[in-house]
């Protein structure tokens, strides 16, 4: 089911606040967000009527947490491929989608923010809210984002109907959310943009580590090799340098 709101602070906040009243596998879509949230406390630029801002609700107290971003990434990827078959799309760990046209560089087109719903007065969860932002029809406004970004409109010169995009995305979310963790891991690895690239990762404590991306682990880590061949795993962090 899709619930469309004209404006909301954040679809993730709305989904978490109304979690009990909402059905499993509902997609909350907002045409505008006044306080769109990104990872690491960043803001998500949410100009009215131009892009897709949505949150998918999963009610389940036994989720494989690393699979949340994985099934959402694959759903966004498949939907984007449908709306822009002429472009190339890749997953960038941990939960971004990058896009490019031939002879261009990859730029971010989508970000995902998964948040567990923690039961009041407990340390247990009973579900997850998966927030998805996709740049659809932004053109000039994109310059307000302080990192290279793109949109379907910039890739194809076509406008995308937000309701059509939401419908197809929901179909894909319903499909990929049933896939087993091992299959999601394999599919995401096939669509990955970082394996074999030299990157720098900045951790929460501001320390940095540079090296070659070797692989991922099923439990969510990125595995990086330093110059001496020592392997290090990171479960979160910001990839700041990478030639994509």
Q: Out of 3, 11, 73, 93, which residue is the one contacting ligand BTN (CB under 6 A)?
A: 11
d(CA 15, CA 76): 19
Q: Out of 19, 32, 42, 88, which residue is the one contacting ligand BTN (CB under 6 A)?
A: 42
- Could you say whether residue 38 binds ligand BTN (CB under 6 A)? yes
Q: Which is nearer to ligand BTN, 39 or 214 (CB)?
A: 39
Q: Interface with ligand BTN by CB under 6 A: which range of 8-16, 118-126, 177-185, 191-199?
A: 8-16
Q: Out of 66, 94, 127, 131, which residue is the one contacting ligand BTN (CB under 6 A)?
A: 131
d(CA 65, CA 214): 22
- Could you say whether residue 111 binds ligand BTN (CB under 6 A)? yes
Q: Interface with ligand BTN by CB under 6 A: which range of 78-86, 108-116, 120-128, 144-152?
A: 108-116
Q: How far apart, in Å, are the Cα atoms of 48 and each of 4, 31, 149?
A: 13, 6, 18
Q: Which is nearer to ligand BTN, 53 or 216 (CB)?
A: 53
- Could you say whether residue 10 binds ligand BTN (CB under 6 A)? yes
CB count, 10 Å around CB of 230?
A: 9
Q: Which is nearer to ligand BTN, 78 or 115 (CB)?
A: 115
CB count, 10 Å around CB of 243?
A: 8
Q: Out of 19, 25, 32, 39, which residue is the one contacting ligand BTN (CB under 6 A)?
A: 39
x/- contact string, 80-99, with ligand BTN (CB under 6 A)?
Answer: ----------------x---
Strands 2-5 and 96-100: unpaired
Give bridge partners of residue 33 from the DSSP assignment. Answer: 8
Q: Out of 16, 22, 53, 76, which residue is the one contacting ligand BTN (CB under 6 A)?
A: 53
Q: Out of 16, 44, 137, 185, which residue is the one contacting ligand BTN (CB under 6 A)?
A: 44
Residues that bind ligand BTN (CB under 6 A): 10-12, 33, 36-39, 42, 44, 53-55, 96, 111-113, 131-133
């Amino acid at each position: 089911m899709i619930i469309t709101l004209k404006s909301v602070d954040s679809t993730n906040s709305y989904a978490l606040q109304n979690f009990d009243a909402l059905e499993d596998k509902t997609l909350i879509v907002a045409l505008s967000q006044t306080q769109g949230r990104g990872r690491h406390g960043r803001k998500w630029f949410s100009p009215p009527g131009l892009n897709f801002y949505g949150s998918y609700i999963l009610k389940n107290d036994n989720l494989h947490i690393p699979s949340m971003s994985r099934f959402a990434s694959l759903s966004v990827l498949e939907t984007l491929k449908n709306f822009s078959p002429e472009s190339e799309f890749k997953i960038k760990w941990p939960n971004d989608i990058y896009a490019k046209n031939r002879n261009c560089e990859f730029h971010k087109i989508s970000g995902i923010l998964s948040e567990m719903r923690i039961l009041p007065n407990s340390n247990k969860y009973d579900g997850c809210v998966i927030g998805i932002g996709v740049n659809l029809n932004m053109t000039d406004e994109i310059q307000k984002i302080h990192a290279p970004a793109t949109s379907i409109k910039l890739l194809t010169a076509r406008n995308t109907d937000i309701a059509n995009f939401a419908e197809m995305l929901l179909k894909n979310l319903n499909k990929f959310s049933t896939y087993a963790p091992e299959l999601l891991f394999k599919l995401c690895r096939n669509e990955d943009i970082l394996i074999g690239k030299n990157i720098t990762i900045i951790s929460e404590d501001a320390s940095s580590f540079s090296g070659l991306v070797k692989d991922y682990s099923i439990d969510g880590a990125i595995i990086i090799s330093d110059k001496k061949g020592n392997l290090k795993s990171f479960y979160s962090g910001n990839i700041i340098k990478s030639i994509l």
